[in-house]
Homo-oligomer: A and B are copies of this chain.
Amino acid sequence: MVSSKTETGEARREVVVSAPINIALIKYWGKRDEARMVPLNDSVSLTIDTLCAKTKIRVGGSVEADSVQINGTDYDMTSQKRFWKCFAEARKILHERNGEEADEECFEVVSKTNFPVAAGLASSAAGFAAIAFALGKIYDFSEEEVARLARMGSGSACRSVFDGLVHWKAGENDDTSVEKVADAWPELRAIILVTSEKEKAVGSSTGMRFTVETSELLKYRVSHVVPERVKSLIEAYRNRDFQKLGEIIMADSNQLHAVCLDTKPPLRYMNDASWHIVSIVEAFNATTFRAAYSFDAGSNACIFIQQKDVAVFLATAAKYAQFSEDLKLSMPEARIVEAQNLLNVEPKDCSISNVIVSAVGRGPTVIHDLDAGDC
């Protein structure tokens, strides 16, 4: 019997959940097995608590076909391979548990994100984590099953189904797994600087495939660099060693973009605005290490920082990245960092369209209303 049916046989079940996006501190770039969504190397991430997908899933009863609606737009299931793979994995688990009856199970997904989809903000990670987490609640899937469902939709989504510091292990053969390796660090914050410039970038699935096929440096990254880096990063995080953590975060972000550049054709996700933000962070850190940048496959910056330094960073960034007056209104008042560190950084309009300050490491939760304000 499919567990979506109540004891009276009534086929109806729904749940509403919220799942955050996540940012990798050690980056995922490259699959060992595209069909099974198995990565070439371990990655480590934190969720960004305030950027989430809220998702209602209904199953059974009147739900006679799979459907997905995101931010009011209906998606065509026949062309959406990612959703199909995720749903197929759910039906496979149900089939193993309940037999053929499960093959008829259908899922109705209504999802809302509190940020633009495909704006380089890992929306698919939040979306598939929410779907997987919701199905897990409905069917009482194990953590491993939930992570697997999320992964089938979008590899990095499996890192959004846990709270705290999350470690996605590449594993060997087919045994990739994901787990929480440390509690949330309450003092830690992420500042997302959204650059409004829309780059015509190659999507990350396609991009990483190109890198796997053509970059020689990626092999060395996977075999020699990442394993050591993952250990050091987890240790620094557990020891609350912010500087060491930050230095590893920046080194790994830079190495992601290095292997992208070593790809044929070269992949370029950081633009002049991204690099200006790098300069600001370097100058900001000149006397005391207080901030670490990380860039995913896009030009937006994620700055990891401790709560005590958020205001001074924002004030400094507002000056040197020339935030608009509108944007400045939402900033806390603070002295900017000492000018001598920033003498070589000329203020420049980076067209930062939005700034989001968020706690990190919350993980997904069951909520009660798809239209509630916050995550």
Contact = CB atoms under 8 A, between A and B. Distances in A.
Given A216-B220, A220-B220, A261 B254 contact: yes
Interface in A188-242: 200, 216-217, 219-221, 224-225
Contacts of A91: none
A103 interface: no
Contacts of A219: 220
Nearest to A273: B272
Contact of A258 (B200, B217, B224, B247): B217
Interface string A165-182: 000000000000000000
Contacts of A272: 271-272
Contacts of A344: 200
Interface in A239-294: 247, 250-251, 254-255, 257-259, 261-266, 268, 271-272, 275, 278, 282
Contact of A265 (B259, B262, B282): B282
A275 B255 CA distance: 19
A215 to B, nearest CB: 8
A247 B266 CA distance: 12
B266 A254 contact: yes
A80 to B, nearest CB: 25
A236 to B, nearest CB: 16
Interface residues of A, number: 29
Contacts of A271: 272
A104 to B, nearest CB: 44
A269 B173 CA distance: 40
A261 B225 CA distance: 15
B268 A262 contact: no
Nearest to A214: B251
A216 B278 CA distance: 20
Contacts of A200: 344
Contact of A255 (B217, B268, B278, B282): B217
Contact of A262 (B254, B264, B282): B254
Contacts of A250: 264
Contacts of A257: 261
A257 B275 CA distance: 14
Contacts of A216: 220-221, 224-225, 255
Given A217-B217, A224-B216, A271-B272, A262 B266 contact: no
Interface of A: 200, 216-217, 219-221, 224-225, 247, 250-251, 254-255, 257-259, 261-266, 268, 271-272, 275, 278, 282, 344
3 nearest A-B residue pairs (beta carbon): A220-B220, A258-B262, A258-B261
27 contacts: A216-B221, A216-B224, A217-B217, A217-B221, A217-B255, A217-B259, A217-B262, A219-B220, A220-B220, A220-B224, A247-B264, A250-B264, A254-B261, A254-B263, A254-B264, A254-B266, A255-B261, A255-B262, A257-B261, A258-B259, A258-B261, A258-B262, A265-B282, A266-B278, A268-B278, A271-B272, A272-B272
